[in-house]
């Protein structure tokens, strides 16, 4: 089972000229691990915030256990993070 799937994710902070994130494809199976590293400002925390639903992403860009993070809005986001 795919635990995390990221596809065509592009994220820009407001007033930023360049994309903070540009991830064409990333998949992690259940139990698989990944190590994020890079210099300050490279998007590590932004990626984690996007996965957690803290920042808005386009529908279809991030799925966790087949749940579309970009389609979850409002108070449902809080419940999503708890699940």
pLDDT digits (tens, 9 = 90+) for 56-78: 899 999 999 889 999 998 888 88
Mean pLDDT of 16-33: 92
Query: Can you list the positions of beta strands (E) in the chain?
Result: 2-11, 21-29, 62-64, 67-68
* CATH of 2-82 among 3.40.50.300, 3.60.130.10, 1.10.760.10, 3.60.15.10: 3.40.50.300
Average pLDDT, whole number, for the chain? 91
Distance between CA atoms of residues 54 and 50, nearest Å: 6
The domain spans of the chain are 2-82
The pLDDT of residue 23 is 95
Parallel, antiparallel or unpaired: strands 2-11 and 21-29: antiparallel
In angstroms, rounded to a whole number, what is the distance separating the alpha carbons of residues 44 and 52? Answer: 13
Q: Tens digits of per-residue pLDDT, 35-49?
A: 999 999 889 999 999
């Amino acid at each position: 089972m795919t635990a995390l799937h990221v596809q065509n994710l592009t994220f820009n902070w407001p007033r930023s000229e360049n994309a903070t994130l540009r991830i064409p494809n990333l998949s992690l199976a259940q139990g698989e691990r990944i190590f994020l590293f890079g210099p300050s400002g490279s998007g590590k925390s932004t990626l984690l915030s996007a996965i957690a639903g803290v920042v808005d992403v386009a529908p279809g860009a991030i799925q966790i256990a087949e749940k579309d993070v970009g389609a979850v809005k409002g108070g449902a986001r809080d419940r999503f993070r708890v699940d």
